[in-house]
Amino acid sequence: MTPRFGLGLQSDKSPAAYERLAVMAETLGFDVVSVFADLWYQPPLAALLSMARVTRRVELGPACLNPFLVHPVEIAGQAPLLDQASAGRAYVGLARGSWLGAIGVDQRGGAAKVAEAARAARRGPGVAAVPPAGRGPHRHVEPAVGGPGRRVGRRGQDRGLGQPGHGPDHARVGP
């Protein structure tokens, strides 16, 4: 498998700054541009939509949405919007998070909640899962025949899912 390189950005910039950074990342050969979904910063979707307008090749997605703070139904609504805006280059990063208890967020059932969010993001008309094409911490799948789709992913060693290889890997979902 060919190594892929990504750039992660904090969600504290203007739309114009995100557009400049995304064009620069694509020009420099990055494969993925992520926007962090950290507390007390802007949600990543607006930045990702701005970047989708000015890029043609890089994959775009949040790193990572937390189903304890963003309901799985909201994640399911955001995923196809970004995928449509990016012409099928979107992915959804999901994480349980490890410190939310410190601010009073109950994280019991973390693996189940992340799995629920992954299922919600993959749900919709024309569902067609495609097996992973590669191996490693981030897997990539080829576009499904029939138009753009969205990828739902997780790190291969995600402790929130209990063990490597358990739970949702990337999937393609029809429009």
Domain ranges in the chain?
6-161
- Quote the pTM value: 0.71
Amino acid symbol at 90: A
Percent of the chain residues topping a pLDDT of 70: 70
Cα–Cα distance, 155 to 81 (Å, whole number): 23
Q: Is the pLDDT of residue 68 over 70?
A: yes
Cα–Cα distance, 7 to 33 (Å, whole number): 5
Q: What is the mean pLDDT of the segment spanning 34-41?
A: 93
Q: Write down the pLDDT at residue 118.
A: 87
Over the stretch 92-130, which tens digit does the pLDDT of each residue have? Answer: 999 988 788 889 999 999 889 998 888 888 774 233 333
* Closest-CA residue to 25 (of 3, 46, 4): 4
Q: Write down the pLDDT at residue 127.
A: 32
* Closest-CA residue to 74 (of 121, 30, 29): 121
Cα–Cα distance, 20 to 126 (Å, whole number): 35
CATH class of 6-161: alpha beta
Q: Which residues face 9 on adjacent strands?
A: 35
Q: Which two tokens stand for residue 64?
A: 């990572």
